[in-house]
Structure formats: C-alpha cells, structure tokens
C-alpha cells in the first residue's frame, strides 16, 4: 500500500463516513428546566424578555404618583383596563403573554385592579343573562353592577434591526402609557429597551 | 495482449453506455411535488398532501420542501393558521441555512447534488412572507375580535421582508437607477464569448411586487408613512429594471406610482385589492450528459444524451446549445487550435474541454484520464420553456366589468433566470464531483487488482462507474406549487358588493370563471389561485435557428 495514496483516499472517506453517520445519529432529548432560566436559541423575543419588561414596567408604573393620588381622592384601588398593545416589531410577539405577565405583577402588588376587556365582558354578560334565567335568587349576579375602569393602558412594541454578515443586533422598545379615563390625562408613560446581539458562523459541522 | 486490452476497453465502454442509458431514463429524484400540485389543481388536496408526505416528510434533507409545499396546500385550502405554521418552520430552516454545513457539502461532493440538504432559492423568502401576510390578512377579515392583532401580524411579515430585501439590495446593488449600460469592451466580449446573458440580466436584485404588496397592507392599516416608503421602493424597482427584466409591461410601475402619489397627498382611498396567482411554475427536469476523454485531442468531452418526449428532447438540445456547447467564436478557435478540424464541427453537438499538453499530463498522473476511460454520467437541470397562455383577466361586479388584472410578478422567469445563472456552476460542480468519484474508485480498484487488465478488474471498474452514475442525479427539487405569474388589480368596489367574478381568458380560447366572496366591509384584500391546466410546451424559438430536431 502506498502511504501517500492511503492518506489521499482514506482521509476523505473517513470524513464522509463520519459525516454520514453523524446524520444518522439524531436522537431527541427532552428535559425539564426552570421557567426563570433563559435559554436564548435566537435573538427573537422570548419568555424571559416578556417577564423582564413586565417587571420593569410595573415597578416604574407603581412608582409614579397617580396611584397615591387616586387612593387619596377616591379611597379605593384604581381599576385599569387594557385597551391595546400593538406589536409593531419585526417579530411575531405573543402580546397576550406579555400583558398577562404585566397584570400578574400589578395584581400581586395589591395596588391596582384590572377590569375585563370588551371580549371577556361580553362573555361574562352572557353568563349573567343565563344566570337570570337559570340560577337561584341567592346565587344570581345582577346586571348593571360592573366596576368601570379608571385608567386605560395602551402601548406599542417596536424593533430595529442592524445586520452585517453573520452579526445581527436587534433592538426592542416597549412603550406603554396610562390614561385617566375621566380627564384624558396621561398619568404614566413607561419605556423599556432590550438589545440583543446574535452572531452566526458561516460554516459549521 | 494489446488486442485483449482494446477488446476489454471496448466491451466495458459499451456495457457502461447501455447501463448509463437505462439509468438515465430513471428519474431518481422525487417528482411527487409535481403530482401533488396536479391533484391540488383538481381539488383533491388530501391526495396532494399524501404525495408531499410520502416524498418529503421525515427526510431531513427535504424538510424545507415539505414545509413549503404543505404551507401552500394549506393556503389553497384556506387553512391559514396551519399554512402559517408550516411556512414559519420553512423560514427557520432557511434562516439556519446561513451556516453552511461542511459535512453536508462533503457528503454531497462524494454522492450527488440531490443528496444535499435543500435550502431554497433566494426568491423563496419574499414569497413566504407574502403568502403569510396574505394568510394573516384573510384571518383578520374573518375575525372581528382579533382583527387588529392579525393585521399587525401581516405587517410583521412585511417588516421581516423589508429586512431581507434590504440585505439583498446591499449584496446585489438593487435597481438603483444609476446602472451604466454595457461598455464597448463588455459588448465586444459578450459578442465574442457568445454568452447570451450577463449575470446582471438574470440576477434577482430586489422584489418590486413584495414591496408593493407591503405598501398596500401598510396603507390599509393607516400607516401612511410606511406605505409611502414601500410604494416608492416598488415604483423605483419596477421602473429601473424589474418590469423589463421580468417582462411585466408598464402597468405595475404606473399603478405603484399612482398609489405613491395618492399616499403622499394623504388621500387614502378604500380600494379593494385582488391578487391573482396564475398557473404553476415550470418544472425543473434532469438532463443527462456523457463525460469522456478524447486521447488524440487531449480533451475532456461532454456529449449530451437527449431523452424523453419530443418537446423534452428539443428543450434539452436548446438548453445544451444555449448554455454549454462550443458555439462561441472563442470555443471554436480553441477547438481548432487544440483538436482536429472535426472538433470545430462537433462543437455544436458536444462541449470539449481541451487540456493542452501539460494539463493533460497532470490529468494522466492524477489518474483522471484512466478513471474516465469508460466514461461517466453527469446530470444537470434544465427548464422546459413555457409560453404565456394568458390572454386577459377581467374582474366583474354585478355583471359589470370593473377592471382588468395586469402582471406584477413572474415566478416563471424568476425560476428560469435562476436555472440559467446557475447552469455553468452546476455543470462545473457536476464534472468535478464525477471526476472525484471516478478517480477515488479507480485508485481503490488499482490497489487491489492485478496490473494486467482482467475481466474481474474491468467488472469492478464498471461497477464503480455504474454506482457513480446512479448517484449522479441532478438536483431537480423545487417549490413546485408556486404560481407561474401573479397579477393584481386595485379597484373601488360598487357599494354593497358581496361577490365578484374573475374571468381568465386563455389564448386557447378557454375561459375560467371564479367567484370571489367578499366577507365583510372590512375585507380589503383577497388572494385567488387560478389553475390554467397543463400548459403546452412552447417551441424553443430562441434557438430555432440552431436546431432542426424533430
């Protein structure tokens, strides 16, 4: 066997065989991990971003004087309705998940209440109408006893992307505002920014 | 001994040629995608999906095709949520393909082009975003509660599209409007080398249609500033080359300019937009060639093997002459200089690569000439030319003609240009791959075989050649369910219109009528697919002067 030829022939063959075998050995492994642990597989908006932004926004929102002023004036916790948070970013973002994180954080603080939005209200009213027909007097809930919202929460999620070769910087900006429903006064305006860098290699195994 | 040698060589050469012809007749790559869209055309989506599942499901190298074809089939069945799920997966695969897999490349180098993971074409991404945006818009028009969020999702697709096209324009220069016409030297070179096209003529540089559709969606959501930017980009791209390159006529550019002017004047109007996808994109087919050596002329020779129907053979002949054969003055001079006079004549039916004395000797030393002594099969793709069979498309409301639909996009030409621009690289890669395979196999055989040619050694060489021929299939995979052409109409509908009739007249005289339901007052865009039946293959007239093949 000529050694030079052996190297020329065997080495590429080994590479190809190992590559082919690598392709065959794809097994799926699933493990449970902590929901607070961040696993960033890409620069897309993920659950951790949603959680971080919600926490930062709530902390900022409750730090503004509107809660204290409302309590002093009305003697009760303010009620908030979520109008709309529009996703104007380049990523599909589950806005509901983000809003649920936000609501939970506010409710947990005990400083404000949320009232149901239009769709949920419609379903609840339908249920009450059903109760009027079918429930006993003691357990029936009356129509016209709903709590009106004092403040309306709305906002947008925007993004910018800068890309060069395998590097991509993604910048997310979440803007939220709280409007006094009686006076149209903007009592709070919050902003949170997230920047991510993704680097990809041109070649890999 | 010498007689025995020659006899063995002749015998095995003949045996290989017979085996090669048998193998070349078999299409080893899946053609199920074509069958699938034909079933979809007849409304049998279940069988169509079954064909796609059988061909691609579970195959890691074809998973992109599975998602693309399934996404389109779901879209045609108006299962928009499922369609978006499939297409989202397709996007992820294309995104991940940025990192080129070395193991995949190596594996394909030793096997064949069709053994490589399919990663799509450059124009697939805009098409995915466009279909997904149309899916979201359709869902939004049906959902009162989530309408805003779904329209936002349609715009998200358009933003992703914008990012992709920005990068594409950075890489290609786009349709800047300041492209200089060919210089004199380039014109002369083009004439001498006989290249029918320059890369610039074929390159996909921007997507005017996708930009235009993006403008429409932005305008419908009241985002006039974004709409203005998109209309402006579309109008510029159409004007500066997109319309000419894809033979779209002047309407698309005029419409984009009209919409731009209206948005700049802040006069948004409640136009209804109808997007019509027509026909099915042309099928990529396999074209076989025989690679051999001409020892007397010290040249490698590529001989086309024309197989299939009359139209297919004509198209193969045309494709070979267009792309590969030695018909340019430079090639003929080369043949004259290095071969005999016969090479000059043969130039129109073969491709000869004269190596010259020193390169020939290197090829002999490396075992290339020996490895190719029984010949080798190489296989490339070609596209059957299709003629435009659409005469006119008209939209009616309440029995009254309200507008005509005009071409805004040609997937037909996009596919053709892509195949043309890759043809030279494809044949180069195919030749390199087959030489590599033949040399490797030949060296392995020579290590263990007797130095004298025996029947056993010959059979081993033949087996290696046949094995190589089997894996030499061209990569004819493609997103087959794409339309051939897209037409658009923007029109103000008469009040209370709930149904439209779309009338497509083919050149054959056949008329296809389709009813389009308008779901609600909020529906401002609709997408309809019109299948025009199996189109007749056009006579490849661009080379009619070169061929009298019947």
| CB atoms near residue B377 (< 10 Å) | 26
A17 has a pLDDT exceeding 60:
no
Please indicate whether, in this complex, the C-beta atoms of B440 and A5 are within 8 angstroms of each other.
no
Torsion A4-A7-A12-A17 (CA) sign: positive
Separation CA B322–CA A81 (nearest Å) = 68
Separation CA B178–CA B258 (nearest Å) = 23
Q: What is the mean pLDDT of residues A154-159?
A: 95
Specify the CATH number of the domain A44-199: 3.40.50
Which of A73-87, A142-156, B296-310, B373-387 is predicted least confidently? Answer: B373-387
Separation CA A103–CA A107 (nearest Å) = 6
B194 has a pLDDT exceeding 70:
no
Nearest residue in B to A21, CA atom: B103
A204 vs chain B: nearest CA distance in angstroms? 5
Contacts by A53-58, CB closer than 8 A, 24 or more apart: A53/A98, A53/A101, A53/A174, A53/A192, A53/A194, A54/A98, A54/A101, A54/A102, A54/A104, A54/A105, A55/A101, A55/A105, A56/A192, A57/A102, A57/A174, A57/A176, A57/A190, A57/A192, A58/A102, A58/A105, A58/A106, A58/A109
Separation CA B276–CA B272 (nearest Å) = 13
Q: What is the mean pLDDT of residues B144-164?
A: 92
Separation CA A57–CA B227 (nearest Å) = 31
Instruction: Yes or no: say if B376 and B469 are a contact pair by the CB < 8 Å rule.
Output: yes
DSSP B247-309: T--SHHHHHHHHHHHHHHTT-----EEEEEEES-PPPEEEEEEEEEEETTTTEEEEEEE--SS
> Of A30-34, A148-152, B59-63, B420-424, which one has max mean pLDDT?
A148-152
**Cα distance between the two ends of chain B:** 45
Chain B residues in contact with A95 by the CB 8 A cut-off are 149
* Partner residues linked to A82 by β-bridges: A153
Give the pLDDT band (50/70/90) at residue B19.
Answer: low
Separation CA B295–CA B485 (nearest Å) = 49
Q: What is the mean pLDDT of residues B3-16?
A: 58
| CB atoms near residue B211 (< 10 Å) | 26
Chain A residues in contact with B156 by the CB 8 A cut-off are 87, 89-92
Please indicate whether, in this complex, the C-beta atoms of A22 and B155 are within 8 angstroms of each other.
no
Separation CA B201–CA B206 (nearest Å) = 13
Token reading at B282: 């042309």
A92 vs chain B: nearest CA distance in angstroms? 6
Give, as one character, the DSSP assignment of residue B118. P
Q: Which residue has the tokens 């075992």?
A: B367
Q: Parallel, antiparallel, or unpaired: how do β-strands A203-204 and A167-180 relate?
A: unpaired
Is A121 in the B-facing interface, judged by CB distances under 8 Å?
Answer: no
pLDDT for A77 equals 94
Instruction: Yes or no: say if B523 and B215 are a contact pair by the CB < 8 Å rule.
Output: no
Please indicate whether, in this complex, the C-beta atoms of B444 and A9 are within 8 angstroms of each other.
yes
Q: Which residue has the tokens 């074209």?
A: B287
Please indicate whether, in this complex, the C-beta atoms of A26 and B60 are within 8 angstroms of each other.
yes
Average predicted confidence (pLDDT) for chain B: 81
pLDDT for B180 equals 47
Which residues fall within 8 angstroms of residue A171, CB to CB, at 6 or more apart? Answer: A159, A160, A161, A162, A193, A194, A195, A196
Separation CA B89–CA B498 (nearest Å) = 35
Average predicted confidence (pLDDT) for chain A: 85
Torsion B45-B50-B56-B60 (CA) sign: positive
Torsion B129-B131-B136-B137 (CA) sign: positive
pLDDT for B539 equals 42
DSSP chain A: --HHHHHHHHHHHHHHHHHHHHHHT---------TTS---SSSS--HHHHHHHHHHHHHHHHHSTHHHHHHHHHSS--EEEEEEEEEESSS---HHHHHHHHHHHHHHHTS-EE---HHHHHHHHHHHHHHHHHS-TTTPPPTT-PPPPSEEEEEEEEEEEEEETTEEEEEEEEEEEEEETTT--EEEEEEEEEEEEEE--SEE-
Token reading at B431: 């030749």
Please indicate whether, in this complex, the C-beta atoms of B149 and A202 are within 8 angstroms of each other.
no
Is A161 in the B-facing interface, judged by CB distances under 8 Å?
Answer: yes
Separation CA B241–CA B201 (nearest Å) = 9
B3 or A183: whose pLDDT is higher? A183
Is A91 in the B-facing interface, judged by CB distances under 8 Å?
Answer: yes
Please indicate whether, in this complex, the C-beta atoms of B163 and A163 are within 8 angstroms of each other.
yes
Using DSSP, state whether B540 is helix, strand or coil.
coil
> What is the ipTM metric for this complex?
0.78
Instruction: Yes or no: say if B146 and B138 are a contact pair by the CB < 8 Å rule.
Output: no
Instruction: Yes or no: say if B485 and B409 are a contact pair by the CB < 8 Å rule.
Output: yes
Please indicate whether, in this complex, the C-beta atoms of B447 and A89 are within 8 angstroms of each other.
no
Token reading at B536: 């007749």
Using DSSP, state whether B192 is helix, strand or coil.
helix
Give the pLDDT band (50/70/90) at residue B421.
Answer: confident
Q: What is the mean pLDDT of residues B514-522?
A: 82
Q: What is the CA radius of gyration of chain B?
A: 27
Percentage of chain B lying above the pLDDT 90 cut:
41
Q: Identify the CA nearest to B488 among candidates B265, B214, B192.
A: B214
Please indicate whether, in this complex, the C-beta atoms of A87 and B149 are within 8 angstroms of each other.
yes
Separation CA B309–CA A187 (nearest Å) = 76
Cα angle: B479, vertex B480, B484; to 5 degrees: 110
pLDDT for B15 equals 58
Which of A125-134, B418-427, B462-471 is predicted least confidently? Answer: B462-471
Q: How deeply is B355 buried, as exposed, middle or buried, from its count of CB atoms within 10 A (0-12, 13-18, 19+)?
A: buried
Nearest residue in A to B448, CA atom: A1
Torsion B163-B167-B169-B170 (CA) sign: positive
Q: How deeply is B107 buried, as exposed, middle or buried, from its count of CB atoms within 10 A (0-12, 13-18, 19+)?
A: buried
Which ranges in B143-245 belong to alpha helices (H)? 147-172, 184-193, 199-202, 208-220, 224-237, 243-245
pLDDT digits (tens, 9 = 90+) for B242-299: 999 999 999 999 999 999 999 999 876 789 999 999 999 888 888 888 888 888 888 8
pLDDT for B209 equals 97
B 424-463 near A (Cβ less than 8 A) = 440, 443-444, 447
B538 has a pLDDT exceeding 70:
no
Backbone dihedral angles phi then psi of residue A115, each to the nearest 5 degrees? -105, 155
Is A16 in the B-facing interface, judged by CB distances under 8 Å?
Answer: yes
Percentage of chain B lying above the pLDDT 70 cut:
77
B81 has a pLDDT exceeding 50:
yes
């Amino acid at each position: 066997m000529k050694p030079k030829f052996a190297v020329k022939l065997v080495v590429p063959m080994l590479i190809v065989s190992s590559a082919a075998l690598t392709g065959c050995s794809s097994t799926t492994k699933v493990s449970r991990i902590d929901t607070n642990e961040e696993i960033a597989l890409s620069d897309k908006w993920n659950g951790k971003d949603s959680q971080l932004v919600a926490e930062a926004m709530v902390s900022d929102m409750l730090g503004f004087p509107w809660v204290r002023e409302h309590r002093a004036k009305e003697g009760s916790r303010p009620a908030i309705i979520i109008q709309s948070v529009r996703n104007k970013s380049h990523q599909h973002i589950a806005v509901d998940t983000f809003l649920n994180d936000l609501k939970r954080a506010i409710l947990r603080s005990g400083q404000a209440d949320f009232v149901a939005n239009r769709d949920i209200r419609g379903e609840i009213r339908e249920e009450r109408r059903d109760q009027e027909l079918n429930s006993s007097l003691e357990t029936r809930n009356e129509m016209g006893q709903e709590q009106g919202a004092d403040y309306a929460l709305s906002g947008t999620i925007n993004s910018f992307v800068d890309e060069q070769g395998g590097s991509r910087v993604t910048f997310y900006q979440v803007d939220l505002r709280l409007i006094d429903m009686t006076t149209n006064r903007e009592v709070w305006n919050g902003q949170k920014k997230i920047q991510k860098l993704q680097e990809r290699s041109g070649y890999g195994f | 001994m010498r007689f025995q040698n020659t006899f063995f060589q002749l015998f095995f050469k003949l045996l290989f040629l017979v085996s090669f012809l048998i193998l070349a007749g078999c299409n080893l790559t899946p053609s199920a995608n074509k069958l699938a869209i034909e079933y979809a055309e007849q409304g049998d989506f279940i069988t169509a999906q079954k064909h796609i599942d059988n061909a691609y499901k579970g195959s890691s190298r074809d998973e992109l095709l599975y998602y693309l074809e399934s996404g389109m089939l779901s879209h045609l069945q108006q299962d928009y949520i499922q369609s978006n799920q499939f297409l989202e997966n397709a996007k992820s695969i294309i995104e991940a393909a940025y990192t080129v897999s070395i193991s995949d490349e190596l594996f394909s180098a030793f096997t064949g082009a069709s053994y490589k993971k399919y990663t799509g074409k450059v124009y697939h991404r805009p098409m995915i975003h466009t279909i997904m945006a149309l899916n979201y818009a359709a869902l939004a028009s049906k959902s009162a509660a989530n309408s805003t969020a779904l329209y936002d999702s349609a715009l998200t697709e358009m933003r992703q599209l914008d990012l992709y096209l920005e990068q594409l324009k950075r890489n290609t220069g786009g349709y800047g409007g300041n492209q200089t016409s060919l210089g004199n030297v380039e014109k002369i070179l083009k004439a001498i080398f006989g290249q029918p096209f320059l890369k610039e003529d074929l390159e996909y540089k921007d997507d005017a249609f996708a930009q235009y559709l993006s403008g429409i969606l932005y305008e419908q959501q009241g985002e006039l500033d974004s709409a203005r930017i998109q209309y402006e980009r579309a109008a510029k791209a159409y004007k500066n080359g997109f319309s000419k390159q894809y033979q779209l006529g002047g309407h698309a550019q005029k419409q984009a300019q009209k919409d731009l002017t209206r948005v700049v004047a802040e006069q948004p109007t409640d136009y209804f937009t109808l997007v019509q996808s027509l026909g099915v994109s042309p099928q990529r087919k396999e074209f076989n060639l025989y690679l051999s050596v001409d020892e007397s002329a010290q040249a490698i020779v590529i001989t086309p093997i024309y197989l299939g129907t009359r139209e297919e053979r004509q198209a193969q002949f045309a494709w070979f002459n267009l792309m590969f054969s030695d018909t340019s003055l430079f090639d003929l001079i080369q043949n004259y200089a290095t071969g005999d006079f016969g090479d000059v004549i043969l130039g129109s039916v073969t491709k000869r690569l004269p190596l010259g004395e020193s390169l020939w000797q290197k090829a002999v030393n490396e075992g290339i000439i020996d490895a190719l002594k029984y010949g080798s099969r190489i296989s490339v793709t070609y596209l059957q030319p299709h003629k435009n069979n659409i005469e006119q498309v008209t939209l009616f409301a309440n029995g009254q003609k309200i507008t005509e639909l005009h071409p805004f996009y040609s997937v037909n030409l996009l596919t053709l240009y892509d195949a043309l621009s890759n043809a030279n690289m494809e044949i180069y890669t195919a030749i390199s791959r087959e030489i590599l395979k033949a040399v490797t196999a030949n060296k392995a055989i020579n290590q263990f075989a007797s130095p004298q040619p025996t029947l056993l050694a010959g059979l081993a060489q033949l087996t290696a050649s046949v094995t190589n021929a089997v894996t030499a299939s061209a990569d004819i995979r493609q997103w087959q369910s794409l339309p051939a052409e897209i037409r658009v109409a923007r029109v103000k509908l008469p009040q209370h219109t709930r149904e439209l009739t779309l009338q497509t007249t083919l050149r054959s005289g056949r008329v296809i009528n389709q009813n389009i339901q308008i779901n609600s007052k909020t529906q401002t865009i609709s997408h309809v697919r019109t299948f025009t039946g199996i189109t007749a293959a056009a006579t490849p007239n661009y080379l009619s002067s070169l061929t009298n093949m019947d």
